[in-house]
Structure 1
Amino acid sequence: MRITTLAKKYSFYCVLLLTLLGQNSLVYSQCPTVTNVNQSFCDTQSPTIASLQAVDNGGGIRWYATATSTTALSSSAVLVNGEDYFADDNTGSCGVRQSVTVTVYSAPTGANFQGVCVTNLNQATPSNPQFFIVGNNLQWYTVPLGGTALSPTAILNDNTIYYISQVNPDTGCQTSRLSVFVNVGLVPPPTGSVVQEFCNIPGSPPTVADLVASGNNNWYLTSAFGVPLDSATPLINGQFYYATTVDPPCESSDRLEVLVNIYDLNDAGNDGNRSICVDQVSTTTPFNLFGLLGGTPDNSGVWSGPITTTNGHLGTLDVSSMTLAGSPYTFTYTVSSALCVPDTSTVTITILPLPTASVSVSPTTICANSSATFT
């Protein structure tokens, strides 16, 4: 009888154990399954707990802030970027909870005022690497909401606000937009004469301010780098100078090279003259007017006057045709150039009459070693 009773008890406990094991297996088989442990959203979607994804295996889905917390999160609770969330069933008794790491993509980051310096407006595009905006697959717009994204090669306008979103690489949704005030600095290399010439005026020498190039310029002594020259810096003959185009805060990377030539003022020397007695006109050999000028006249001038001269700047003159009646004869020496004002000097040739003398005296005896006065 005792053996039979023990056998029944063992049978009862075995059935009970199997029942409990079966129920426990049933409980865990109803826990939710997380197939994507990294879930991402855009801030424009306003993601909440209800946005999280898991497979409901029959026991419902509840989300928790930690692996062991006992209070489920509200389905309307806003998801936080970088946080982990833990899935359980309606009973909260699944044991080890599967987790999901949440990424919420928001507007790209970058300064709200940015500019690009370009040599051609075709370079002022959203894809220009001078823009520093951090984000994935940036999309540029002309409006803060809606609208159509600009092409990466669209030409941006100066002094204009643009709105930039980024794209969630997992889902393709777009975020809110970063506003950027864009400045486009057009700074092509300047153009101008590659040889520039000046006149060296005493007391007022040519300076950097006299150099000419297109646009607003900085001038340098080197083809790259260096410190801009002050506009009052005197120019040096034979020196190369280099100009950039400036549109603050931009400056062209390429420079215009200019050679400077500086010329002294024209110098025709000082006036000169010569007198010739009328009886010597016919015997006076031709002579150079240039030799009668004072100072240090330039040898690039020309002569003009009542009688044609020869030998260029020397001004060789034949006086054989000069007369007393035509005297004086004035010849002008002119030195000119394209850069400096002309300078002139003159040489005057005067024909002198023969002297006349008369002596009216009464007879006078003059002793040796004595003097006498005639009137």
Structure 2
Amino acid sequence: DDELVTVEITINPLPNTGTPTPATFCENDLTANSPLDLFGQLSGNDAGGTWTDDDTTGALTGSNVDLTLLTIGVYNFTYAITDSNGCTNSSTVTVTVEDAPVAGTVSESPEFCVSDIVSGQTIDLFDYLNGEDQPGVWSDNTPSNQLSGSILTLDGLAPGAYTFTYDVDAIGSCDDPNMPTVTITINDTPAPTAMATQDFCDAATVADLSATGTSILWYNEATGGNALDAATPLQDGETYYASQTDATTGCESSVRVEVTVSIIPLPNSGGLATNPIIVCNDTTVDLNTGLDGTQDTTGTWTDSSGTVITTPSMYDVTGFTPGDYIFTYTVSAAPCADAVTSITVSIQEPLSSGTSNGDLAFCSTDGTFDLFTNITGEDIGGEWIYNGNSVSNIFDPAVNESGTYIYFIANSCGNSSTSFEVSVSQAPNAGTNGTFTICAADVDTSNNILDLLSVLNDIPDASGTFTNDDSANGFSGNNLDLSLVTPGTYNFTYTVIATAPCTVNSNAIATVTVNDTGAVTIVNASPAFCAVDDAVVSDLDTAVNGTNITWYAEENDSTPLDASEALIDGEDYFAVQNNTTNGCESSTRVQVVVSINDAPTPTLLNSDLELCINDAPTIAELTANITEYNSASNNVVWYDAPTGGNVVTASTNLEVNTTYYAVLIDSTSGCESSIRLDVSPDLTGCGLLVIPDGFSPNNDGVNDTFNIENLDIIYPNFEIEIYNRYGNVVYKGNASTPAFNGKSNQSRLIGGGELPVGVYFYIFNFNDGVNKPQQGTLYLSR
């Protein structure tokens, strides 16, 4: 039989996690119900389990859920227990957050001015809430009876405050207990007060209107329209309307006070007439002529005491004391101020010009005279007349003329005049002191006679006489012969005798000064110059002693010589010196006679002289070829330029293509030739050409090249060819190529390297049209 095995199976009960009850909250109740203890949503559960946040809301702490962290939606939270037997059980609590309506908050409680509300104007109350949900119901709390839904009609509201409450519709079981209330305020300002009729004078503006209130504005319409500018002129009989504005609410009164304007023309008393009234005290006067004619005719005239003048157009001033009288013209027009103009009436009496005390006679040098002293009993205020023109009463014999002088006086009563003769005799006039200065050297037959009257100033009388105060030579009558006057200063007094009514003679002094400068002194009366020095007039200054020397070609010339003018041999010249103080040159001129010395131009003994440059010829060899050369006096000098330049010494080596210039030195005058002899030496006269027979190009500094000294100078057109023993050209040369240094310059034949030691052959072409080519050998040694 099979062996029996018994298996025991134990069934353990699951842990009890309870029965869950779902929790549902309105969105706006979360704060009030938070936190939510989830164990309150279980029944019959065992302890010891743990809660999990199935939706990872982050709101679970232990068994508590922070509902404020949840948004609208459904959330699961699970309670799980695992017992000692390893059995696990769980229960899930569902938390639901439902949407709740929001009634919002009041953003503004607006205020409106009645004057700003237009017909049919409405507002939407929702515009004054923030964050509200719709739909909902508005309540007319006041009531206004102008509310339709959320639309409020403003122009049907009387001034006052109106409240409106909003109740948002519930969503399911959720509602918002908050019901915001919007307050609408309708403000109005009472009309200002003012006099219904306001009077103004002549001209007024809106600014002159009067009303009692705050921030008054004026209109020409009872309602609407634009406020008038303060400067707008008021119109007579026009009606104007005033409003005021409340400083707190800023509202302008919706009702305006009415004012009717009356413009009353200003009274016009006129202006003053152009010509004031001046009358004699024996007539009547029309006071109205003292005004300009623009005055109203309704006015009244009064005198200075206030007495009304009943007949102003025939006002009698007979017998009035002369003087000024004030009369006033007044025009009244209430409520305007009276217009008043006052005029001055000047009342005069007949005047007298007095009687003359006789005719008057003056000398022109007499002092001034008051003409009023020559009349008696005159009234003041007249004028003096001469030759039809008004003149001063102060007569100045030095200025005023002879003739009839009249005192004339006039007023509204007539005129009066008194006249007398005034004669003025001219006082003697010798002029005023004058001076005349001349240089003795400037006196000639054209100006030697001086009229002494011309020396005086201010046009002297011709009737006077001169006296020779200093006994000057050449004086006669009014004239002075300057050619006879010894240099110096002389006074001549001119006197004019006075005749009645003048009593004082007139004198003036003519002062004549003749200046001269001493003659220069002779240092050398026969100055001599070398022609080569190109002597000029300024060089003559060394022949005399003096200051600021001037030279003339002739003794009586008036034009001085230019300092740069060349001197002429054998000519005489005349010198003066100039005094810078008196500006005069010497009246005596000093003569010198000029000699201009010159040496002849040298001549050549041999004009075809040839020298050899290889002989190092010098200037001395050129000197020896001068015909006039005297070795004892060494009378030949050489220069490097045709004029000026530098002296070339006798030992100087001659150079190719160079010109030298020779002069002779005169043994008597020491002068050299003014015209130089130019010599360009021929340095090619070297005879038969000597060609070396070898050279050693080993760079030891000796005979390193096949060189013929100065070959390019002696035969500038030469050509040379050098051949090796095979007949090949290894070198070709002329004046432009380097000397043969043992290297071929014919590389196309032998590569251009150094040539070997040995014998070479040359052909030398002179190319001078005289010599035939020369051939020879040379030895190249290293």
Q: Which has the higher helix share?
A: 1
- Asked whether the two chains share a fold, i.e. TM above 0.5, the reply is no
Q: Which has the higher strand share?
A: 2
> Relative contact order (alpha carbons < 8 A, sep ≥ 6): 1 or 2 greater?
1
Q: Which has the larger radius of gyration?
A: 2
TM-score by length of 1: 0.44
TM-score by length of 2: 0.24
